[in-house]
Amino acid sequence: MAAPMSGYAQRMIRLSQRIFTEYPKIVFARKEHREQHEKFIRFLDDRPHTSGTLVSMNYYPRYGEIYRLMEGLREHGLFRNEHRDFQEEVVRLRVLRGKQRKNMRLLYPKRMPELAPCCKTSSSSKK
């Protein structure tokens, strides 16, 4: 006959069962309580009922498709992405200063670097 477990040991067993999603073994005095508990455990084990598909399958929107559509709109001038404009401006200014990174290709080669209006010098004033 095994010695009865201490309260600490029982709490540790319950904690490990909670961590590893094992349901605690409960001893019921009445049969209907045990059946009710078993029914509840089966309910927890079932998958969610959402028209036969998993909930996570249609959870996220189509980010890739939205990104490509917005890029198309941006190329046509119908959408303004200020963060992307700022990144291109930083790259453009680095190229003009001759400070572009050696080991990295230009991030946005579609637009040619040109001087900002404040940095342009008129060719007629030099002559």
Instruction: Quick: pLDDT tens for 97-115.
Output: 988 776 555 555 555 556 5
What confidence tier does 14 reach under pLDDT thresholds 50, 70, 90?
A: confident
Instruction: Quick: pLDDT tens for 15-59.
Output: 887 787 666 667 777 888 888 888 888 877 776 665 565 555 667
Judge whether residue 123 has pLDDT over 60: no
Q: What is the pTM of this model?
A: 0.36
pLDDT score recorded for residue 127: 45
SS3 102: coil
Judge whether residue 75 has pLDDT over 60: yes
Question: Tokens 């029914």 belong to which residue?
Answer: 39
Query: Is the CB of residue 107 less than 8 Å from the CB of residue 87?
Result: yes
pLDDT score recorded for residue 85: 93
